[in-house]
Structure 1
Amino acid sequence: MTANTLPFGIGVGERRALVAFLVRKSGSEMLAEDIAHDAIIRLVEFQSREKVRNSKALLFKIAVNLLINHQRRENRTVEGVTDEFVDERPTQDRAALDSDRLAQLQRAIDALPPLRREVLVRRRLENQSYEEIGRALNLSSAAVEKHVVRALASLRAYQDKHVFEGVSPW
Structure 2
Amino acid sequence: MRDVLAELRPHEPKLLSYIGRRHRDPSRAEDILQETLLAVMQQSRKHQIDSPLAYAYRVADSLIYAQVRKDRREERLGDADYGCDLPIADEILEHKQRVAIFEAALLGLSPVRRDIFIRRHMDDQSRQDIADALGMSLESVKKHLVRAMAELAGVMDQATGAAPERRPLHARQ
TM-score normalised over the length of structure 2 = 0.45
Query: Larger Rg: 1 or 2?
Result: 2
Higher helix share: 2
TM-score normalised over the length of structure 1 = 0.46
